[in-house]
Amino acid sequence: MWGMSETPPESPDFDAMARDIAEVPAVEVIVTVAVNLMSAAAVKLGLTEEGDKHKDLDEARKLVHALAGLLDATATEISSFHAAPLRDGLKSLQLAFREASLVPDEPGKGPGEKYTGPVYG
């Protein structure tokens, strides 16, 4: 809590934020969310320079599954130009998850495979 002589932290300008978001095409929002999910999953899989420091396969599973669901749900909404590299990234993350798991999931049971089908190397 701030002291009596301090001013309270400024609240976000939600009207300005809404105006900014209103100007962004839906495809751009979807791709941005997908890239953020991919980045977070890569960190949780230990694929960054810091490696195992942030590795957490339970968290990675959730992120990869969410990414697969997003891509499945928006497949007809975004062009192949956007979808193809995102699907390639998803497959890479799924394979990395399988490789990182001490006890790999059965084909079709890995993260996101509910949406993509079994992923093989």
As a whole number of angstroms, the longest Cα–Cα distance in the chain is 62
Query: What pTM does this model have?
Result: 0.83
State pLDDT tens for residues 38-84. 999 999 999 998 888 999 999 999 999 999 999 999 999 999 999 99
Say if residues 63 and 41 touch (Cβ distance below 8 Å): yes
Residue 10 has pLDDT above 90, yes or no: no
Say if residues 64 and 93 touch (Cβ distance below 8 Å): yes
Question: Residue 95's Cα: distance from chain center in Å?
Answer: 15
